[in-house]
Amino acid sequence: MTTAYITHPDCLKHKMFTGHPECPERLVAIEDRLKGKQLWDFLEHVEATDVKDNDLLLTHSQQLLEKLSKNTPGAGQSLYHIDPDTCMNEHTLKAAYKSAGAGTMAVDLVMNKKIDNAFCSVRPPGHHAERNDAMGFCFFNNIAVAATYALEKYSLERVAIVDFDVHHGNGTEDIFCNDPRVMICSSYEYPMYPYSGCESVPGHIINSRLDAGSTGAEFRQAVENEWLPELEAFKPQFVFISAGFDAHKEDVIGELQLNESDYRWVSQKIKEIADKYAEGRLVSMLEGGYALNALASSAEQHVRVLMGLE
């Protein structure tokens, strides 16, 4: 089984203010862990290219692209703040284009049977970015761009997005709320930023709210009872993962209590769906995860499953 690891050096150049949890060291920690566990050399390494504007505009508005381009700081200029926690330096837009481009590249590689699946280790993350707005550390909605690209370029009829980040993917829901071709299964701590997540819409949007302090057992129960039956009925032709690892018990961003074994388990369950209904077609994109050791070890377990090692 061939798993691509897609990233780009530009993803390390996007930096926000000192002490910001969404930092370049996140990608370094994952890479170091995979090397330390002797997995690195068995991955297919691919350098991301820029997403094309025409492909971005399948998901985002021209207004958003123009806003980000217009407000990109020049060399040596101060950060431009989208919101108090989301800001751009001179390299941010380049990193965002590479991050979204990693997803469309992964779709092409999978659909053309060059690889079996992919993990896109990219930043900035994406699932909070809405059609018209950047927010919550996110500029382009990488997973939504990839899913829309798969639908439009390859004329797919059904794709699923599974999001186990500690935060609700408000952007992904905003983009696909009226598109029945896309099923979204999302778990998240509630109430917490971005304070969204409507009631579930059977066959389309499955929101699994978890209270602060919820354990891995409660998370697994939600997946078993709420996600898997819906995914089985939907029979997706491609599966996408918003892989946020900030629901880990060591991550201070939230108060969920997941551990590495929970991420391995949920990755296995999602991969089984992809294998059963989508010919194994699966693309995973990094979202959150800010406790570096927990992020690295959780991502390792996730990648092991993609590689067919667990």
Provide the phi-psi class of 5: left if phi over 0, else alpha when psi is between -120 and 50, else beta. Answer: beta
User: Residue 70 corresponds to which tokens in the numbers above?
Assistant: 């217009």
By DSSP bridging, strand 159-163 and strand 282-286 are unpaired
84 prior amide bond cis, ω within 30: no
Residue 207 is inside which H or E element, if any?
strand 205-210
Short-list 165, 166, 159, CA closest to 144: 159
Q: Which of 8, 128, 168, 248 is catalytic?
A: 128
Short-list 171, 199, 174, 169, CA closest to 186: 169
Contact present, 159 and 147 (Cβ < 8 Å): yes
Q: Is 128 a catalytic residue?
A: yes
Torsion sign, CA atoms 269, 274, 276, 281: negative
The single residue listed with the structure tokens 């999302």 is 186
Q: Is 127 exposed, middle or buried (0-12, 13-18, 19+ CB in 10 A)?
A: buried
CA separation for the pair 254, 121 (Å, rounded) = 21
Short-list 22, 182, 10, 189, CA closest to 98: 10
CA separation for the pair 263, 244 (Å, rounded) = 10
CA separation for the pair 206, 130 (Å, rounded) = 18
Q: Hey, which residues are catalytic here?
A: 128
